[in-house]
Amino acid sequence: MQRDAAQQELDLEDGMTHAGRRHRDTRNSPLTAGALATALLLLAGPAACTSAPDGKITQLDVQPLDQVDTGRAADADAVPLTDLLNADADELRFDVVPLDADLADSGPVCEPGTGCFLDPCTANDQCLSGWCVEHLGDGVCTMTCLEECPAGWECQPYGGSGQDLMFACVSLFTNLCKPCTAAADCISPGGIQDACVSYPGGSAFCGGACGPDVECPEGFTCAEVVSVSGVPLTQCVPASGECECSAKSVALGLATDCSVTNELGTCTGKRVCTADGLSPCDAPEPAGETCNGIDDDCDGQVDEPLDLDGVPISLCNDDNPCTKDVCGGPQGCSNPPLDGTECQDGNLCTTADHCQDGLCVGIPMACDDDNPCTDDSCGQAGKCVHEPNADKCYDGNPCTVADQCQDSACVGVPVDCDCQEDSDCIKLEDGDLCNGILVCDLDKFPHVCAVKPGTAVECPPPAGDFPFCLQTQCQPETGSCLTLPAHEGFACDDGNACTLGDACQEGTCAGKKPANCADDNPCTDDSCLAPAGCQHTPNSAPCSDGDACTLNDICNGGACAGGPDANCDDANPCTDDGCHPLSGCTHAANSDPCDDANACTTGDACQGGVCLAGKAVGCDDQNLCTDDTCDPKSGCIHAMNSAPCDDGSVCTLNDKCEKGSCVGSAPFVCEDSNPCTDDQCHPKKGCLFVPNSKPCDDANACTVGDTCDAGLCKSKSMLDCDDLNPWR
């Protein structure tokens, strides 16, 4: 079961009280499980500390123990790895091949920069020892060892064939000052767990175990610190109090966590290693939450409601009960109407309040008590008020006249005398032509003057488009009906969907304000067409489809259609270019082969998004008559020189370089003054005197037919000097 980081660091703190345990002599001794793991990792060849094809150090590419290849062929005598881990210590002895001490002590002094101990490196072949290892977060050359290593280094086994081991110095401070976010970032190749230490300013770097037996490297001090998990422990930290970014950390773009905190919250981000040190924290400043599709206060929630004394309040609250408060994320707020929903219009004199076109409207309270002697209205308390009036009325008693309201009641004047005919009632007329003509009602006794049926004016209901806002009223002076405004200010319906807040006004129903037809859709032109209402006509305006991977989006059919794909090519062969719909173009670093524009390197490869130079090009043309150099732009240059040389022929003298070739001058003269030899010079053998068979002169006048033979002039016969004269 995997333990959490805090538990690992508690175990680490317990281990620090015995820091000296990290020094061990593994030569010819039983390997513990940890030492065996280290040995197996190094014996695994390239996985221990090798140069990959792209030239990068692969020291940290540690294989799981159950996958390590010991380099031996599987046979009947091979011990399985599981048996090794479970075997007794006495059974696990390896044959150690010690280095030649005389050779180690008698070598020349190493010139820095040529692969010496602690020289910077990125690949094994850059080091005289053949091993490039991690130290203080960078690659450096190590050296082989017998027993002892410099302070801060440990002599540990590394790969040989079969069970034979060799030893090299391995740093105890592999990751010291390497940017980290958790303890898992600080595991060394040998499996040693260092802590991820918190530093002021919101950064964190790997520490290094220290104690009475393990001193910190120069420039570092052993101090009580706190890990990023809050565990106190003892680690090596810079005496200056600040870790610098190593070249490798910069090249790999390593980063550490950081945060920005204020009263609104805490936002997290990264600080990346650059050539100028750690970059500023890229965490945003916590801000109050707004409807924008972003976690403004960095609490892990996006566009969450406000909390008002435990009651959630929408970010889009418009304080209108007749609209729905909707947060659309990146699109912002919208408040569509909630027609038909119950509400309170704040008017106590209305009932059945409900939402209509985004407004709260009610029906006027019915306060008519059917008493003509009261003026009916709704009071401030929302209760009907019936104020007495002094209007003329009819008390329903034919024996009274001049009826008039008094104290909310209709009171008439009793008739003391009877009438005999209609004319007797003229004197009782009140001049009101609306309440009918008085005639003598002979059907009652005593006869009384009464209104003749059919003579009282009854005004018809008001006509027009908005009868609710009108009333008909008879004029006493003329007896004619007039149409007058009524229900002034009460809600009504003007039949036009393009107006809101309709109310009676001077006898007609009028809207107070135009309807809000905005549908928050940039791809429609919003308008209102009476009486139908809001119209949303599709347009072809520029828009945003919410996909950062499309450009020049255009409205089509009322919706935003994505345009051409964004061109995410950053012209960098060391990044794999892509696009994320939310964030846009992405440029992930790759490890492809590349060209660093330097013709003097080969095997260039991408790392951390940049093209790193490979090995130097070999420009030696094996010609002593050229000076070999390399121009970063054009490559190898073989400039001809005039240096002394040897053209390989013993037949020439004063050899020197001319036009890129070794040319000899003043050819050697092979002359033996012997006409019976052909003189010549052989480039390898020198002067040769080859006998010939040419005619010659042996300087003896007494011979004839002289011919060369075996390098000598020989005659064939003697000259016959006999003149046949016996006397001489």
- Band of residue 417 on the pLDDT scale cut at 50, 70, 90: low
For the stretch 132-142, pLDDT in tens is: 988 888 889 99
Return d(Cα 299, Cα 297) in angstroms, integer.
6
User: In this structure, what are the phi and psi dihedrals at residue 62, rounded to the nearest 5 degrees?
Assistant: -85, 130
- Band of residue 12 on the pLDDT scale cut at 50, 70, 90: very low
3-state DSSP assignment of residue 84: helix
- Band of residue 215 on the pLDDT scale cut at 50, 70, 90: confident
- Is 451:435 a contact under the CB 8 Å cutoff? yes
Least trusted range by pLDDT, from 354-368, 440-454, 524-538 = 440-454
What is the distance, to the nearest Å, from the Cα of residue 664 to the centroid of all Cα atoms in its chain? Answer: 70
Mean pLDDT calculated for residue range 268-281: 89
Please count the other Cβ atoms lying within 10 Å of the Cβ belonging to residue 535: 13
Between 151 and 48, the higher pLDDT residue: 151
- Band of residue 277 on the pLDDT scale cut at 50, 70, 90: confident
Rounded to whole angstroms, what are the CA distances from 444 to 243, 449, 455? 122, 10, 19
- Is 577:589 a contact under the CB 8 Å cutoff? no
Return d(Cα 649, Cα 493) in angstroms, integer.
122
3-state DSSP assignment of residue 153: strand
- Band of residue 13 on the pLDDT scale cut at 50, 70, 90: very low
Which residue has 């009282």 as its token pair?
456
For the stretch 476-533, pLDDT in tens is: 999 999 999 999 999 999 888 898 989 999 999 998 888 889 989 999 999 999 888 8
Q: Judge whether residue 25 has pLDDT over 60.
A: no
Return d(Cα 683, Cα 671) in angstroms, integer.
16
Query: Whose CA is closest to 301, among 273, 265, 343, 337?
Result: 265
pLDDT score for 223: 92
pLDDT score for 491: 92
Burial 93-102, CB ≥16 within 10 A → b, else e: ebebeeeeee
Tell me, what DSSP letter sits at residue 247?
A: H
For the stretch 627-662, pLDDT in tens is: 999 999 999 999 999 999 988 888 888 889 999 999
Mean pLDDT calculated for residue range 357-374: 91
Question: Which residues on neighbouring strands pair with residue 158, listed in sequence order?
Answer: 166
Return d(Cα 250, Cα 256) in angstroms, integer.
12
Domain residue ranges of the chain, discontinuous segments joined by +? 22-66+112-256, 287-365, 626-665, 677-718
% residues pLDDT > 90 (the chain): 38
Return d(Cα 368, Cα 375) in angstroms, integer.
9
Query: Whose CA is closest to 45, among 72, 64, 69?
Result: 69
- Is 490:351 a contact under the CB 8 Å cutoff? no
Mean pLDDT calculated for residue range 300-323: 88
Calculate the dihedral angle through the C-alpha atoms of 521, 524, 527, 528, rounding to the nearest 10 degrees: -80
Q: What stretches of 395-472 show up as alpha helix (H) in DSSP?
A: none
% residues pLDDT > 70 (the chain): 82
Least trusted range by pLDDT, from 235-249, 371-385, 413-427 = 413-427
What is the distance, to the nearest Å, from the Cα of residue 478 to the centroid of all Cα atoms in its chain? Answer: 88
Mean pLDDT calculated for residue range 564-589: 92
What angle is formed at CA 43 by the lines to CA 40 and CA 46, rounded to 5 degrees?
120
Please count the other Cβ atoms lying within 10 Å of the Cβ belonging to residue 185: 19
Least trusted range by pLDDT, from 382-396, 433-447, 486-500, 534-548 = 433-447
- Is 593:605 a contact under the CB 8 Å cutoff? yes
For the stretch 255-264, pLDDT in tens is: 988 888 999 9
pLDDT score for 189: 64
Question: Which residues on neighbouring strands pair with residue 187, listed in sequence order?
Answer: 193
Which of 67-71, 530-534, 538-542 shows the highest mean pLDDT?
A: 538-542
- Band of residue 39 on the pLDDT scale cut at 50, 70, 90: very low
Return d(Cα 531, Cα 77) in angstroms, integer.
98
DSSP string, 507-563: TEEE-SEE-----S-TTEEEEEETTTEEEEEE---B---S-TTB-S-EEETTEEEP-
Between 301 and 191, the higher pLDDT residue: 301
What is the distance, to the nearest Å, from the Cα of residue 509 to the centroid of all Cα atoms in its chain? Answer: 59
Return d(Cα 347, Cα 380) in angstroms, integer.
9
Mean pLDDT calculated for residue range 203-228: 89
pLDDT score for 416: 63
Encoded amino acid at 153, one letter: W
Question: Mean of the per-residue pLDDT values for the chain?
Answer: 81
Tell me, what DSSP letter sits at residue 469?
A: G
Which residue has 């670093």 as its token pair?
589
Is the peptide bond prior to 531 cis by the omega test (within 30 degrees of 0)? yes
**Radius of gyration in angstroms for the set of CA atoms belonging to the chain, rounded to a whole number:** 57
Q: Judge whether residue 375 has pLDDT over 80.
A: yes
